[in-house]
Structure 1
């Protein structure tokens, strides 16, 4: 596949239109778009953006659930040479505003409302001097596109011809232990070969029907989601959010063949199948990850849902796909490891001094290779901390490697926990909670949860002469941060345990 790989994501869309023309590319709400139609829509959107002066080096954000308009807006802005800034749909106003401000985004694509949230209203109090326009994908996108000169605009050809693999394609923001989200700068040349290797491992092929529930603001739904479909000729079926009934209808009616997702999605499907059997015979494969997957669940997904080619993989925003299992790996391997390094990736288990440890010993997982991020936006210090002088990316994850090169993740060096598949950084939650007027000090830890894997537990010290209860703080948190960050319990303490240097001793809070 390497010799036919497109240079950029817009090149992938253009090549797909030339190769597969009137074949279905995307299906939403029963309406199918061909690859030709999709490419024409993307070009028309690019024309409207070019008229607004969007060029290489600009940043354009999308804050919206999965939809065909999301894909068109993303490819349209990329044709112009701009960088995509995808925003988590669960963000609150000041979280999104901070990223829009730091990226100096010129334009924001969003929706009128989603899950009861009015995104424009959430941004009403934010100072966004660079943001010139907000476009609604669900109610105003057609009018926006109509302001351009259409798909045949010669300016679109000129912009497309200027694209190259070293353009910064996207910046996905990942939280960090400093409490401030960091923008991971990626280029097309680093991303597309990784997607191609993931495709080779999963066997995703032309004409397969790919149900994309994973959010487009995440690499799982974006890069190895709809971009993978463009490269292979698979058909995208985007879903705005997971709904088990709707997923089942898609599987039965649309004969879905490929369906990635976190383990909880498959557990939900299996539970529903026990109550109300449904036809899943079309399912062939998918990928899972983000948490440990019990071997019995892998067997059930393969045998009861029919997904014989289910695999697990390991990646991060800073390095899209690091390791992967392959179809046919035993259930125990898929359940207990995240596979071995993809071709071109060097992966080691490093000791405290950076030395490679013998097989079977635990240490930090480090990766080196051509798909590593450029760096963090405007943060050379954090970039230098993440990528050492020898070019190794320090993942912060702890694991071991067996004799066959398969990686088992056993813990995390970083002060982070995973809640429902989302990475949660206590430092960021603490920073957000510190805005509460009644709180003097805050410490957050992750604790085990049967359904979500881990959830947040906050230890708080109140300011003098203030009174709040646990539900007050949880309710305030729901209004001020994404729901996966909201602590599920709050403990009131007189002081936090600290060492002589004043650092909070979180291991004492763990009890």
Structure 2
């Protein structure tokens, strides 16, 4: 595939970048959703018109707009309009309910809300009714997508003109509600584009505490998209499938890699593995990035020839003990590579190399990767001594990269704690460096185990347990017994299997050092988990609490 060099002089703002794309090739498709293709010229015009409509409402630079939408053209248009106006977009997952929405609207200090009342039959109005009044106090109005907006929402009711206020005792006031389609049809001249500034906030997963708001500016987002396009070989024929929600770093980095290159991005409001396989065939998709569960689903659902256009599919391993992905990829000739990223670094910050020119290809199917920015650097630090470790030794990964966040919104103390004195981000991840630009991710530091003086990746133990009779999946955590940390295993059983703690213990002793053998086994119906924008994440802290209680019981 002939690649097209991405300009090193990437624009500072999305408005300037859209201007350049529309001038260079106005008819080129930029987005493809169920309503059809949106060209570069159309996307530029829609974003400018929406910005004009929002400006007429009174939206000012520096105000904050919560975007509570699925993957669709309206999400992209809303973000681009915010960027033009100098407003800050707060990305909200459509799976969130009253507690999470209240947190983002309240702590995020949202001035405006853009949402889709009829999406997937979800009672978004009911969810908003359950949001405490104090979380809505700053809102000036809401913008609703209704039946007039495209085929995707034919069944949605027309949007009322105000957000209904519950009983007066709640202290709420009626909020003006505006129709998205009318704002996007605004004929006013668009306001001048604002200069580069903070434009997008992701929320961290918040599995153990309240999520933090991760702030990125326009220049950094665009430059990262261009770096991803270079690193993963985008060219004239590149088409990208957005398999993850735009509201999370994974999905947004996929989107911006296409926007930065001028490569069409295929998206759907709801992920469906079989539909994604058909879209890959229909639109000749070359690249997609997803968690291993989603990619496995796509490959299992694909008919012969559906994935023939694949040039590189990247994966992040979020779902434990998911078998078959690598075998399916080999059978269907799908090129795979492991990925790494975070809200703070942006997703796709690293991908394992597919050619020796970019690094050690033997690590291709391991999480982690070669950093996509040539000037980025990685190292591992011993969490106990504080010493920077030699290559190959496991410690906390620290990364310095042009893709790094501006900081945590409204939280300078947390921002300061997240960085070393020389500008490296403390990832909180366990791993080891293969070079100053390539590394292998092993686990979250909070999930790693210090056993008998050795730092142990729990995945090492989990893989052994998952090979035992009757075990479908395993999660290993550390717990205290007699003032020492010991591993404890929670398992999911194969259908019809029965727990065999004694047999499993004996089998582990035969193949592992004694300090790695789980001190106990407990079978669960499911692992405790929480949904993030990218996946369902297992709550290890709850498993640790359960293990502590079990070991404390005589």
**Does structure 2 retain, via aligned residues, the 8 Å contact 1:26–1:235?**
yes
1:123 counterpart (117, 120, 128): 128
Alignment of 1:225 with 2:225, yes or no, is no
CA shift at 1:400, angstroms?
Answer: 1.2
- Report the secondary structure of 2:58's partner residue: coil
Superposition pairs of residues 237-248 of structure 1, within 5 angstroms: 237-248=266-277
Residue of structure 1 equivalent to 2:224: 194
1:95 counterpart (100, 105, 109): 100
Equivalents in 1 of 2:60, 2:207: separation in Å?
A: 33
Deviation digits for residues 154-174 of structure 1 (CA, Å, limit 9, x no counterpart): 342x2x1x322xx00111111
Residue of structure 2 equivalent to 1:252: 281
Equivalents in 1 of 2:16, 2:114: separation in Å?
A: 22
Deviation digits for residues 178-227 of structure 1 (CA, Å, limit 9, x no counterpart): 611110111123222222211111112344222212101012211x2222
Cα distance change, pair 172–10 in 1 and its aligned pair in 2 (3 A)? same
Residue of structure 1 equivalent to 2:371: 341
CA shift at 1:17, angstroms?
Answer: 1.1
1:314 counterpart (311, 335, 340): 340
Moved more, 344-353 or 71-80: 344-353
**Does structure 2 retain, via aligned residues, the 8 Å contact 1:365–1:396?**
yes
TM-score normalised by the chain length of structure 1:
0.76
Equivalents in 2 of 1:19, 1:41: separation in Å?
A: 18
Cα distance change, pair 82–403 in 1 and its aligned pair in 2 (3 A)? closer
Residue of structure 2 equivalent to 1:66: 71
Once superposed, what is the RMSD of the aligned Cα atoms? Answer: 3.8
Alignment of 1:383 with 2:379, yes or no, is no
CA shift at 1:122, angstroms?
Answer: 0.5
Equivalenced residues, count: 441
Cα distance change, pair 279–319 in 1 and its aligned pair in 2 (3 A)? closer
CA shift at 1:258, angstroms?
Answer: 2.1
Equivalents in 2 of 1:171, 1:86: separation in Å?
A: 6
**Does structure 1 retain, via aligned residues, the 8 Å contact 2:83–2:199?**
yes
Superposition pairs of residues 103-122 of structure 1, within 5 angstroms: 103-122=108-127
Q: Which runs of 5+ in 2 are unaligned?
A: 1-5, 151-178, 449-457, 460-487, 495-523
**Does structure 2 retain, via aligned residues, the 8 Å contact 1:295–1:334?**
no
Moved more, 18-27 or 82-91: 18-27
Equivalents in 2 of 1:271, 1:510: separation in Å?
A: 44
CA shift at 1:508, angstroms?
Answer: 4.9
Equivalents in 2 of 1:396, 1:15: separation in Å?
A: 39
**Does structure 2 retain, via aligned residues, the 8 Å contact 1:250–1:256?**
yes
Which has more radius of gyration?
2
Equivalents in 1 of 2:232, 2:324: separation in Å?
A: 21
CA shift at 1:47, angstroms?
Answer: 0.5
Cα distance change, pair 397–101 in 1 and its aligned pair in 2 (3 A)? same
**Does structure 2 retain, via aligned residues, the 8 Å contact 1:111–1:139?**
no
Deviation digits for residues 309-354 of structure 1 (CA, Å, limit 9, x no counterpart): x332211111114422233468742212422233121211011243
Equivalents in 1 of 2:83, 2:491: separation in Å?
A: 41
Superposition pairs of residues 197-216 of structure 1, within 5 angstroms: 197-216=227-246
Equivalents in 2 of 1:486, 1:118: separation in Å?
A: 27
CA shift at 1:140, angstroms?
Answer: 6.0
Alignment of 1:367 with 2:399, yes or no, is yes
CA shift at 1:381, angstroms?
Answer: 2.5
- Report the secondary structure of 1:335's partner residue: coil
1:263 counterpart (283, 286, 292): 292
